Chain A
Amino acid sequence: MILPVWNESQKRSALILFGIASAGAGISIAIGEIGARFSKIWACLSSFALKNSIPTALLTPLSMIIQCSILIGFISVSVMFMVWWERKVSAHMQNRLGPMFTGGWHGWAQTIADAIKLLLKEDIIPAEANPWVHRLAPIVAFVPAFLCYAALPFGEGLISADLDIGILYIFAISGLSVLGIVMAGWGSGNKYSLLGGLRAAAQSVSYEIPRVLSVVPILMMVGSLKLTSIANVQTGFWQIAGIPVLPKWFIFYPIVGQIAFLIFLISSVAETNRTPFDIAEAESELVAGFHTEYSGMKFSFFFLAEYAYVFLSSGLTTVLFLGGGSGPILPSWSWFLLKSFAVVFLFLWFRWTFPRLRVDRLMEFTWKFLLPWSFVNILITGFILLF
């Protein structure tokens, strides 16, 4: 691929991009050590408390508060970045520039400006709407996303709640977000959002099953639901005559890995209501689907929820299939971020290339194609595990 001839501004921005990437790598190595002690917060806190006799009862809430604030900080920063990144990626895919003015180089502060704008916007509750359902819907849509981040391993030792039923917990809690969307649909009292809400409910329910079933072969191989143990199984490399050929990621398992990866990817795209499955807020049919009547802060909550789920799904894909956190030089958590943002780029790429499926074709696709194939996948893993 010959390098396309770039004009002056492209060369300058490529240089700046390279600078930021190398600075980021340098800082990450420096912080790496502090990060490693993330899960040992409990231990260093208790040693600190013992020294100057703070009552131990105070410790658990304190460490929880610290971990929650770190997680909230991470989610909001990553969502801010992803919103800006989506606008830039979609712009360049369509031969245009995307935000360029706010905040200097390539409009990096665009999302912050949007967030402030949304905060200042008036919060309208339509007359027909049922006020309480209308107000609660964004909260119910966003909170499960935030809960699931607790069980996501960001790297060795970087997990705030290392549950041994990690996957089950994440799938169960993320299923709750559908409730928020249906409440938003019915709550805003307008026909379009009602249609959008009902469609979203039908879609999420029917895509939950193939998503869970596609993960079953991995559980069969690893033998435990613990996310960290799944990640650890995938460290190391397959050697053929001593040369490390392929990393031991699940995606490279002969047939099983690829099928499971594809089904999981497709159904998590559908789970987060993104094209080609975004029938819930289909611009051309239902104006804006379930969040037509939302404005100001409530709308930004829905926006936040959507991108939080996108990062959650791509984080899960990294942990389950791409060996989250295992990699040669860089510390584990920067590997995790790199892989997750690669999968997020895949989500964005889908969105700006594919048209939208019709409602009943979408249901048919899941019940008649994804589901049977995930059963077949489990069957094949069964055979492989026998021999």
Chain B
Amino acid sequence: MFNYFKTIYKVGKALIQGMMVTWKSFWQPAVTVQFPDEKLNTPERFRGALTFDKETCTACNLCIKACPTACISLEPAVDPATKKRIAKVSWYQIDFGKCNYCRLCEEACPTKPIKSVRHTHQYEWGMLERKEMLVKWERMIPSTEPLTSTNMKPI
């Protein structure tokens, strides 16, 4: 008989203690960040969308070999006068539909001091069709005005 009431007391006390936990956090300030207005700052090593610097790239294909899902494709530039390949790239394309954001291409890229393919801190990027996932950087030798990627804002 006695421990019947003891269990009731224990059950009641445990339930009340559980409610105290929620009561305490009822008064604590919330932790949510209201995304469009307040934004968290991304850390220095953040792996956002890839960007490409077409001047420094030497078309050495190391990033293509390193990529696990083979989403990079490029074509080395040919000097129109001498018809020989030069250490520049004519177009460079990344298929962001397959990219794993794994940073292996950036680590494989030999260009100094800034790598020609590297991660940016940009994570807000939506697209409407699958075609937009194929981002192409072209570097026409004769043309004067600098060409940027078809839809990529310069970062």
Contact = CB atoms under 8 A, between A and B. Distances in A.
Interface string A188-201: 00000000000000
B26 A6 contact: no
Given A97-B34, A100-B34, A349-B19, A89 B26 contact: yes
Contact of B22 (A7, A97, A353): A353
Contacts of A7: 29
Contacts of B3: none
A91 B15 CA distance: 21
A95 B25 contact: yes
Interface residues of B, number: 15
Interface in B1-31: 15, 18-19, 21-23, 25-31
A93 B22 contact: yes
Most buried by B among A1, A7, A350, A353: A353
A3 to B, nearest CB: 9
Contacts of A92: 25-27, 30
B22 A352 contact: yes
A95 B28 contact: yes
Nearest to B30: A97
Contacts of A349: 19, 22-23
Main secondary structure of the interface of A (DSSP, over half): loop
Contacts of A94: 25
Contact of B25 (A6, A93, A350, A354): A93
Contacts of A353: 18-19, 21-22
B26 A96 contact: no
Interface in A373-387: none
Contacts of B143: none
Contacts of A95: 25, 28, 30-31
B32 interface: yes
Interface residues of A, number: 19
A4 B29 contact: yes
A10 interface: yes
Contacts of A4: 27-29
A93 B29 contact: no
Contacts of A89: 26
Nearest to B18: A353
**Residue from the set B15, B23, B27, B31 with the largest chain A CB neighbour count within 10 Å:** B27
Contact of B26 (A93, A350, A354): A93
Contacts of B18: 353-354
A6 B30 contact: no
Interface string B24-59: 011111111010000000000000000000000000
Interface in A338-352: 349-350, 352
B38 to A, nearest CB: 11
Given A349-B22, A352-B22, A354-B18, A96 B32 contact: yes
A10 B29 contact: yes
Interface string A317-351: 00000000000000000000000000000000110
Contacts of B30: 91-92, 95-97
A353 B20 CA distance: 9
Interface in A248-274: none
Interface in A1-58: 1, 4, 6-7, 10
B22 A6 contact: no
Interface in A203-245: none
Interface string B78-118: 00000000000000000000000000000000000000000
Nearest to B25: A95
Contacts of B22: 93, 349, 352-353
A327 to B, nearest CB: 25
Nearest to A4: B27
25 contacts: A1-B27, A4-B28, A4-B29, A6-B29, A7-B29, A91-B30, A92-B25, A92-B30, A93-B22, A93-B25, A93-B26, A94-B25, A95-B25, A95-B28, A95-B30, A96-B30, A96-B31, A97-B30, A100-B34, A349-B22, A349-B23, A350-B19, A353-B22, A354-B15, A354-B18
Interface of B: 15, 18-19, 21-23, 25-32, 34
Q: Which 5 A-B pairs have the closest CB atoms?
A: A93-B22, A97-B30, A353-B22, A96-B32, A93-B26
Given A6-B29, A353-B21, 8 more contacts: A4-B28, A92-B30, A96-B31, A97-B32, A97-B34, A349-B23, A354-B15, A354-B18
